[in-house]
Amino acid sequence: MNSANAFIEFETDEIESFPEITELNIVSGGCHLYGYMLTPDKRISSPYPAVIMSHGFPGYTTNNDLEFALMRMGCVVIHMNHRGAWGSEGNYLFTNLKDDLVAIAKWVHNPAIADRYNIDPDNIFLVGHSMGGQTVLNAAKELTFIKGAVAMAAYDIGAAFDYKMEKDLFLMIETEGQCLKMNSVSDVYENALNNRNELSVVENYEKLLDHNILLIEAAYDTIAPPDKMLKPLNKCLSEADGKVDYVVIKSNHSFVGHRMKLANIVGEWIEKKQE
Protein backbone atom coordinates (compact mmCIF):
# COMPACT_ATOMS: atom_id res chain seq x y z
CA MET A 1 0.00 0.00 0.00
CA ASN A 2 1.19 3.51 -0.81
CA SER A 3 -0.94 6.36 0.48
CA ALA A 4 0.88 8.79 -1.82
CA ASN A 5 -1.03 7.24 -4.74
CA ALA A 6 -4.44 8.50 -3.55
CA PHE A 7 -4.88 10.55 -6.71
CA ILE A 8 -2.44 8.82 -9.07
CA GLU A 9 -3.48 6.26 -11.68
CA PHE A 10 -1.45 3.77 -13.71
CA GLU A 11 -1.06 4.17 -17.45
CA THR A 12 -3.71 2.08 -19.21
CA ASP A 13 -1.31 -0.16 -21.10
CA GLU A 14 -1.85 -3.46 -19.28
CA ILE A 15 -5.51 -4.47 -19.51
CA GLU A 16 -4.91 -7.65 -17.52
CA SER A 17 -3.72 -5.52 -14.57
CA PHE A 18 -6.71 -3.16 -14.41
CA PRO A 19 -8.46 -2.58 -11.08
CA GLU A 20 -11.90 -4.14 -10.93
CA ILE A 21 -15.39 -3.57 -9.55
CA THR A 22 -17.17 -6.74 -8.46
CA GLU A 23 -20.83 -6.93 -7.45
CA LEU A 24 -21.40 -8.44 -4.01
CA ASN A 25 -24.32 -10.17 -2.32
CA ILE A 26 -23.74 -10.97 1.36
CA VAL A 27 -26.36 -12.39 3.73
CA SER A 28 -26.97 -10.82 7.13
CA GLY A 29 -29.86 -11.76 9.38
CA GLY A 30 -31.36 -13.85 6.59
CA CYS A 31 -31.42 -10.84 4.25
CA HIS A 32 -29.35 -10.20 1.14
CA LEU A 33 -27.15 -7.11 1.32
CA TYR A 34 -26.08 -5.67 -2.02
CA GLY A 35 -22.93 -3.75 -2.80
CA TYR A 36 -19.59 -3.97 -4.55
CA MET A 37 -15.90 -4.57 -4.08
CA LEU A 38 -13.07 -2.51 -5.53
CA THR A 39 -9.80 -4.35 -6.11
CA PRO A 40 -6.61 -2.42 -6.91
CA ASP A 41 -4.41 -2.51 -9.97
CA LYS A 42 -2.56 -5.82 -10.03
CA ARG A 43 0.74 -4.03 -10.51
CA ILE A 44 0.46 -3.22 -6.80
CA SER A 45 1.90 -6.10 -4.81
CA SER A 46 -0.49 -8.23 -2.78
CA PRO A 47 -1.83 -9.28 -0.31
CA TYR A 48 -3.86 -6.10 0.09
CA PRO A 49 -5.28 -4.52 3.21
CA ALA A 50 -9.08 -4.52 3.15
CA VAL A 51 -11.29 -1.57 4.03
CA ILE A 52 -14.99 -2.15 4.76
CA MET A 53 -17.09 0.99 4.43
CA SER A 54 -20.26 1.70 6.43
CA HIS A 55 -22.57 4.39 5.07
CA GLY A 56 -24.42 6.94 7.16
CA PHE A 57 -28.12 7.64 7.53
CA PRO A 58 -29.60 7.02 5.06
CA GLY A 59 -26.60 7.13 2.76
CA TYR A 60 -27.13 10.32 0.75
CA THR A 61 -23.61 11.46 1.60
CA THR A 62 -21.53 8.97 -0.31
CA ASN A 63 -17.88 8.17 0.20
CA ASN A 64 -17.21 6.85 -3.29
CA ASP A 65 -14.35 9.32 -3.72
CA LEU A 66 -12.69 8.01 -0.57
CA GLU A 67 -13.27 4.43 -1.69
CA PHE A 68 -11.56 4.96 -5.05
CA ALA A 69 -8.69 6.84 -3.40
CA LEU A 70 -8.11 3.89 -1.06
CA MET A 71 -8.26 1.52 -4.02
CA ARG A 72 -5.59 3.53 -5.85
CA MET A 73 -3.44 3.33 -2.71
CA GLY A 74 -3.64 -0.45 -2.85
CA CYS A 75 -6.61 -1.45 -0.70
CA VAL A 76 -9.46 -3.83 -1.44
CA VAL A 77 -12.54 -1.76 -0.60
CA ILE A 78 -15.93 -3.27 0.26
CA HIS A 79 -19.07 -1.12 0.01
CA MET A 80 -22.29 -2.74 1.21
CA ASN A 81 -25.75 -1.30 1.75
CA HIS A 82 -27.30 -2.06 5.12
CA ARG A 83 -30.61 -3.86 5.50
CA GLY A 84 -33.47 -1.81 4.13
CA ALA A 85 -31.13 0.69 2.43
CA TRP A 86 -30.63 1.21 -1.28
CA GLY A 87 -32.09 -2.08 -2.48
CA SER A 88 -30.80 -4.42 0.22
CA GLU A 89 -33.41 -6.74 1.68
CA GLY A 90 -35.05 -6.41 5.08
CA ASN A 91 -36.18 -3.43 7.12
CA TYR A 92 -33.91 -0.65 8.30
CA LEU A 93 -33.26 -0.66 12.04
CA PHE A 94 -30.36 0.89 13.91
CA THR A 95 -29.66 -2.35 15.77
CA ASN A 96 -29.25 -4.14 12.43
CA LEU A 97 -26.36 -1.91 11.37
CA LYS A 98 -23.76 -3.40 13.68
CA ASP A 99 -24.93 -6.94 12.96
CA ASP A 100 -24.68 -6.30 9.22
CA LEU A 101 -21.14 -5.00 9.51
CA VAL A 102 -20.07 -7.92 11.71
CA ALA A 103 -21.44 -10.33 9.09
CA ILE A 104 -19.63 -8.50 6.28
CA ALA A 105 -16.34 -8.42 8.20
CA LYS A 106 -16.53 -12.14 8.95
CA TRP A 107 -17.17 -12.80 5.25
CA VAL A 108 -14.07 -10.78 4.31
CA HIS A 109 -11.98 -12.52 6.98
CA ASN A 110 -12.99 -15.98 5.75
CA PRO A 111 -9.78 -17.67 4.47
CA ALA A 112 -11.43 -18.68 1.18
CA ILE A 113 -12.56 -15.10 0.46
CA ALA A 114 -9.28 -13.57 1.59
CA ASP A 115 -7.35 -15.93 -0.66
CA ARG A 116 -9.67 -15.38 -3.62
CA TYR A 117 -9.28 -11.59 -3.56
CA ASN A 118 -5.67 -11.44 -2.27
CA ILE A 119 -6.75 -9.85 1.01
CA ASP A 120 -4.42 -9.76 4.00
CA PRO A 121 -6.66 -11.12 6.81
CA ASP A 122 -4.42 -9.48 9.41
CA ASN A 123 -5.06 -6.02 7.98
CA ILE A 124 -8.82 -5.50 7.82
CA PHE A 125 -10.07 -2.01 8.65
CA LEU A 126 -13.56 -0.57 9.21
CA VAL A 127 -14.32 2.96 7.99
CA GLY A 128 -17.63 4.72 8.55
CA HIS A 129 -19.17 8.16 8.30
CA SER A 130 -21.87 9.63 10.57
CA MET A 131 -24.20 6.76 11.57
CA GLY A 132 -21.62 4.56 9.87
CA GLY A 133 -19.04 5.91 12.31
CA GLN A 134 -21.19 4.68 15.18
CA THR A 135 -21.58 1.37 13.37
CA VAL A 136 -17.87 0.69 12.84
CA LEU A 137 -17.08 1.48 16.47
CA ASN A 138 -19.79 -0.83 17.79
CA ALA A 139 -18.87 -3.60 15.34
CA ALA A 140 -15.19 -3.34 16.26
CA LYS A 141 -16.13 -4.09 19.87
CA GLU A 142 -17.15 -7.59 18.72
CA LEU A 143 -14.44 -8.26 16.12
CA THR A 144 -11.12 -9.20 17.65
CA PHE A 145 -9.46 -9.68 14.24
CA ILE A 146 -10.06 -6.12 13.03
CA LYS A 147 -6.82 -4.16 12.74
CA GLY A 148 -8.45 -0.76 13.16
CA ALA A 149 -11.54 1.41 12.83
CA VAL A 150 -11.98 4.91 11.44
CA ALA A 151 -15.01 6.93 12.58
CA MET A 152 -15.61 10.12 10.59
CA ALA A 153 -18.03 12.65 12.14
CA ALA A 154 -19.57 9.76 14.05
CA TYR A 155 -23.17 10.04 15.18
CA ASP A 156 -24.00 8.66 18.63
CA ILE A 157 -27.61 7.69 19.30
CA GLY A 158 -26.92 7.34 23.02
CA ALA A 159 -25.63 10.91 23.15
CA ALA A 160 -28.63 12.14 21.12
CA PHE A 161 -30.93 11.05 23.94
CA ASP A 162 -28.57 12.18 26.69
CA TYR A 163 -28.45 15.69 25.23
CA LYS A 164 -32.18 15.94 24.44
CA MET A 165 -31.70 15.76 20.66
CA GLU A 166 -34.39 13.11 20.19
CA LYS A 167 -36.68 15.48 18.24
CA ASP A 168 -33.89 16.06 15.72
CA LEU A 169 -33.39 12.30 15.45
CA PHE A 170 -37.09 11.69 14.84
CA LEU A 171 -37.19 14.43 12.19
CA MET A 172 -34.13 12.96 10.50
CA ILE A 173 -35.79 9.54 10.31
CA GLU A 174 -39.04 11.07 9.06
CA THR A 175 -37.53 13.24 6.32
CA GLU A 176 -34.24 11.67 5.19
CA GLY A 177 -35.43 8.14 5.84
CA GLN A 178 -38.13 8.19 3.18
CA CYS A 179 -35.80 6.32 0.82
CA LEU A 180 -35.44 3.43 3.29
CA LYS A 181 -37.54 0.32 3.67
CA MET A 182 -39.07 0.34 7.15
CA ASN A 183 -42.32 -0.55 8.84
CA SER A 184 -42.79 3.02 10.07
CA VAL A 185 -40.89 6.06 11.29
CA SER A 186 -42.05 5.28 14.83
CA ASP A 187 -40.70 1.72 14.55
CA VAL A 188 -37.23 2.97 13.67
CA TYR A 189 -37.31 5.72 16.30
CA GLU A 190 -38.44 3.30 19.03
CA ASN A 191 -35.64 0.96 18.01
CA ALA A 192 -33.23 3.80 18.79
CA LEU A 193 -35.00 4.73 22.01
CA ASN A 194 -35.16 1.19 23.38
CA ASN A 195 -31.55 0.38 22.47
CA ARG A 196 -29.88 3.74 23.09
CA ASN A 197 -27.43 2.34 25.64
CA GLU A 198 -26.40 -0.56 23.41
CA LEU A 199 -25.98 1.82 20.45
CA SER A 200 -23.92 4.35 22.41
CA VAL A 201 -20.32 4.48 21.19
CA VAL A 202 -19.08 5.17 24.74
CA GLU A 203 -20.85 2.11 26.17
CA ASN A 204 -18.33 -0.73 26.58
CA TYR A 205 -15.58 1.50 25.17
CA GLU A 206 -13.02 -0.71 26.92
CA LYS A 207 -13.63 -3.31 24.20
CA LEU A 208 -11.94 -0.88 21.79
CA LEU A 209 -8.74 -0.53 23.78
CA ASP A 210 -6.91 -3.25 21.84
CA HIS A 211 -7.86 -1.75 18.48
CA ASN A 212 -6.27 1.07 16.54
CA ILE A 213 -8.90 3.82 16.45
CA LEU A 214 -8.95 6.99 14.35
CA LEU A 215 -11.59 9.58 15.20
CA ILE A 216 -12.04 12.41 12.70
CA GLU A 217 -13.94 15.46 13.87
CA ALA A 218 -15.77 17.86 11.56
CA ALA A 219 -15.24 21.06 13.53
CA TYR A 220 -18.42 22.77 12.26
CA ASP A 221 -20.63 19.70 12.53
CA THR A 222 -24.17 20.56 13.65
CA ILE A 223 -25.64 17.10 12.90
CA ALA A 224 -23.25 15.11 15.08
CA PRO A 225 -21.77 17.79 17.38
CA PRO A 226 -18.28 16.54 18.26
CA ASP A 227 -18.40 17.87 21.83
CA LYS A 228 -21.35 15.55 22.45
CA MET A 229 -20.70 12.64 20.11
CA LEU A 230 -17.00 12.14 19.41
CA LYS A 231 -14.88 13.86 22.03
CA PRO A 232 -16.37 11.88 24.96
CA LEU A 233 -15.20 8.62 23.39
CA ASN A 234 -11.77 10.08 22.69
CA LYS A 235 -11.54 11.16 26.35
CA CYS A 236 -12.46 7.68 27.58
CA LEU A 237 -10.01 5.92 25.27
CA SER A 238 -7.18 8.39 25.92
CA GLU A 239 -7.52 8.21 29.71
CA ALA A 240 -7.47 4.40 29.49
CA ASP A 241 -4.31 4.47 27.34
CA GLY A 242 -6.15 3.27 24.25
CA LYS A 243 -4.56 3.33 20.81
CA VAL A 244 -6.59 6.30 19.62
CA ASP A 245 -5.74 9.14 17.26
CA TYR A 246 -7.90 12.25 17.01
CA VAL A 247 -7.87 14.57 14.00
CA VAL A 248 -9.86 17.76 13.45
CA ILE A 249 -10.88 18.94 9.98
CA LYS A 250 -12.41 22.41 9.79
CA SER A 251 -15.43 21.39 7.76
CA ASN A 252 -19.09 20.51 8.10
CA HIS A 253 -20.66 17.09 8.70
CA SER A 254 -20.04 15.84 5.15
CA PHE A 255 -16.49 17.24 4.91
CA VAL A 256 -17.52 19.07 1.75
CA GLY A 257 -14.55 21.04 0.45
CA HIS A 258 -12.06 18.86 2.34
CA ARG A 259 -12.55 15.48 0.69
CA MET A 260 -8.97 15.13 -0.57
CA LYS A 261 -7.64 16.01 2.86
CA LEU A 262 -9.97 13.40 4.35
CA ALA A 263 -8.73 10.75 1.91
CA ASN A 264 -5.10 11.53 2.69
CA ILE A 265 -5.67 11.39 6.45
CA VAL A 266 -7.50 8.06 6.32
CA GLY A 267 -5.08 6.49 3.84
CA GLU A 268 -1.92 7.59 5.64
CA TRP A 269 -3.29 6.32 8.95
CA ILE A 270 -4.20 2.90 7.51
CA GLU A 271 -0.76 2.63 5.90
CA LYS A 272 0.94 3.31 9.23
CA LYS A 273 -1.18 0.82 11.14
CA GLN A 274 -0.52 -2.17 8.87
CA GLU A 275 1.65 -4.95 10.24
What is the model's pLDDT at position 223? 95
Task: Tally the residues of the chain.
Answer: 275
Q: Are 195 and 156 contacting, i.e. CB atoms less than 8 angstroms apart? A: no
Give me the phi and psi of 31, to 5 degrees please: -115, 145
d(CA 199, CA 153) in angstroms, rounded, equals 16
Residue 80: which of 132, 139, 118 has the closest Cα? Answer: 132
* β pairing state of 48-54 and 76-80: parallel
What is the model's pLDDT at position 151? 98
Q: Which string of DSSP letters, residue by residue, matches 195-254?
A: THHHH-SSTTGGGGTTSEEEEEEETT-SSS-HHHHTHHHHHHHHHTT-EEEEEEESS-TT
What is the biggest distance separating any 2 CA atoms in the chain, rounded to whole angstroms? 57
C-alpha Rg value of the chain to the nearest Å:
18
Architecture of domain 3-7+17-273: 3-Layer(aba) Sandwich (3.40)
What is the model's pLDDT at position 116? 96
Sequence spans of domains, the chain: 3-7+17-273
What is the model's pLDDT at position 164? 95
Over residues 67-122, the pLDDT tens digits come to 999 999 999 999 999 999 999 999 999 999 999 999 999 999 999 999 999 999 99
What is the model's pLDDT at position 72? 96
Stretches where the chain sits below pLDDT 50 are: none
What is the model's pLDDT at position 60? 83
Residue 49: which of 104, 121, 143 has the closest Cα? Answer: 121
pTM (predicted TM-score): 0.95
